[in-house]
Each structure stands twice: as C-alpha cells, then as structure tokens.
Amino acid sequence: MIINFKGAKTYIGTGGKSLDNTKKTFCFLHGAGQNHLSFIQQARFFAYKGYSVVVPDMPAHGFSDGNPCKSIKENAEWINDLLVELKLKNVIITGHSQGCLVALELNKIFKYPLEAIIFVAGSNEIPVNQFLLDLSKENPQKASQMMVIWGHGIDGDMSINKWPGHSHYGEGNNIMCMNQPTALNCDLNSCNDYSDGKDATKKIKVPTLAVLAKNDQMTPLKSGLKFVELMENCETHILDCGHFIPSERPLELNSIINSFLSKLE
C-alpha cells in the first residue's frame, strides 16, 4: 500500500493481504541499498499464515520517495514513527543486514516491548571498506553490481534459485537499481558510522533469533557469532549460503522463523 508519510509517498508491502493492526505484525527491515523486494518469499508467506505484514521501502528506496535517512538512528526513528502512525503494537521485527542495526536502535525507542527480534545475516556492527564507500558515491550502479556478487554464495554464480527461472544476480541488480542513486551511499555510511551496537545489543530483553550465513562476505559469520554472544539465549542458526539468506534459502529461513515463533506461543 502507498501512504503519505512525513510528506513523502511511502510504499509498504503487506504480503498481498490488507493490514490489520489488531493482529501480531511482522515488520521486515531491508538492508543497505535494498527495498521491500528483499523479502519477496517472506512477506506473502507470513501474511498468508495469519500475521499482519509490513515491509516498508525506506525513504528513497523502492517505491518510496523522500530523502534517504543519514544514520542508523534516523532510520530507527523513521520506522518508530511509522509503526506509531500505523497504530501497531504487537510487532515482531525481522531485520536483514543494515535492518538488524536499525532493529537494535528501534528496540531502544519503541514504546511497546517488541514481541521478538529476528536478525538475518546480522551483527552489531557493519564496517564498510573505503573502496565500496567511495564507489557507492561515484558509481552506485557499479557498487550495486559488486555487492550483488559479494552478497551471494555459490548459488549466485551458478544461477541456482529456489524460485524457478529466477537469477539472483539479474534480480538483485535490478532491485537495487529501483532505489534513488544516493540511497546506497547513505546506507553504507550509516552502517559504517554506527558504533552503539554493542550497548544496544546488551539492552535487548525480548526473545531473539539469529540466522547467519556460512559464506557471508558482507557481515561475516565471525562477526555474527560474536554478536549473538552479546545476547542472552539468542537462538542461532547457520545456513550454508551467502549474505542474501531471504532469497538464497527462503524455505529454511521461513521454517526456522516459524518454529522459533511457535516456541514463544
């Protein structure tokens, strides 16, 4: 659905069902340079399982207008205000990559306790190398192409896909090209500059799940494993794939999330 939010056209994917704020709501937060299409195989899946689903395109991403947020905290405030605007109370946050950092900050400011936080290919810090930071400013398209290659495991190179006929590279590139050209550089700088992750992680009091990837070159597994150690009882799974777990291992991810949630009931 499209709403006017903070004066800008804002797109929110709802998984093909209408939003019902009386239900438990899955809120998916996309990663750097991505948009709601990162979660193609999660949005409909959980909407059809009876949850309410919101997958916002952050400002200047996907179908949303506006200026890109300039820090992780600004992203979290934007999401916080959106959840308030939509009158959502019982929220399960699922972040992918940068979305995990945003989730850490959101957890500090959202006025209701989150039902759970699910970290996909996440960490408490995402340093970005200077080469990619520079390239994302000078040539965002080229930077996107490189991220799409680094971001996928062997299934990217070999054009293996659980969705018949789809190509991770071709699809991934075009998803990133839908964003405004300045969005990627803003996102990567936000990730690189964020340094409150350790403290924010230690503040988490709600149930957590982490799904990490063995061949993650964007948020390396080593960093993800240190991150989960900062939380008490974070259920952790490691999948054999690259950074883009939601599209590389959709069925495994959905099933891990499902069984995690069933244990909370």
Partner 1 sequence: MSENYKFDTLSLHAGHIPDKETGSRAVPIYQTTSYVFNSTEEAASLYNMEVGGHLYTRISNPTVAALEQRLAALEGGASALACSSGMAAMHLVISAICSSGDHIVASSKMYGANINLLQHTMPRFGVNTDFVNPNDPEAIKKAIKPNTKLVFGEVIGNPGLDIMDVPETAKICNSENIPLVLDATFNTPYLMQPFKHGANIIVHSLTKWLGGHGIAIGGAIVNGGNFDWGDKDKFPTISGPHFALGGISFWEEFGPSALIAKIRAEGMYNFGPSLSPTNAFHLMQGIETLPLRMKKHIENTHSILDFLVNHEMVKWVKHPDLETHPDHEVAKRILPKGSGSIVAFGIKGGREAGKLFIESVQLASHLANVGDAKTLLIHPGSTTHSHLSSEAMKEGGLTDDMIRLSVGLEDINDIKKDFERGFKAVKKLNK
Contacts to partner 1 by CB under 8 A: 11, 13, 16-17, 35, 37, 40-41, 43-45, 48, 62-63, 145-146, 148-149, 154-167, 169-175, 177-178, 250-251, 254
Nearer CB in complex with partner 1: 145/223: 145
For the chain, the residue count is: 265
Provide, rounded to whole angstroms, the least separation between the CB of residue 191 and partner 1.
21
CB atoms within 10 A of CB 240: 13
Nearer CB in complex with partner 1: 64/201: 64
Three-class SS state of 78: helix
How far from 227 is each of 99, 118, 158, 159, 198, CA to CA, in Å?
Answer: 15, 13, 31, 31, 8
Nearer CB in complex with partner 1: 157/229: 157
d(CA 122, CA 100): 6
Provide, rounded to whole angstroms, the least separation between the CB of residue 208 and partner 1.
24
Provide, rounded to whole angstroms, the least separation between the CB of residue 172 and partner 1.
7
DSSP secondary structure code for residue 255 in this structure: H
Counting Cβ atoms within 10 Å, is residue 264 exposed (0-12), middle (13-18) or buried (19+)? Answer: exposed
Nearer CB in complex with partner 1: 35/75: 35
Nearer CB in complex with partner 1: 138/232: 138
Provide, rounded to whole angstroms, the least separation between the CB of residue 166 and partner 1.
4
Contact 94, 120 (CB under 8 A): yes
Nearer CB in complex with partner 1: 32/148: 148
Provide, rounded to whole angstroms, the least separation between the CB of residue 249 and partner 1.
11
Nearer CB in complex with partner 1: 139/159: 159
d(CA 199, CA 261): 26
Contact 199, 225 (CB under 8 A): no
Enumerate residues 6+ apart whose C-beta is below 8 A from 116. Answer: 92, 93, 206, 207, 208, 209, 260, 261, 264
Where is 193: in which H helix or E strand?
Answer: helix 183-193
Provide, rounded to whole angstroms, the least separation between the CB of residue 144 and partner 1.
8
Nearer CB in complex with partner 1: 110/260: 260
Tokens, residue 88: 């959502």
Provide, rounded to whole angstroms, the least separation between the CB of residue 225 and partner 1.
25
User: How many CA within 13 A on the CB side of residue 56?
Assistant: 27
Provide, rounded to whole angstroms, the least separation between the CB of residue 125 and partner 1.
26
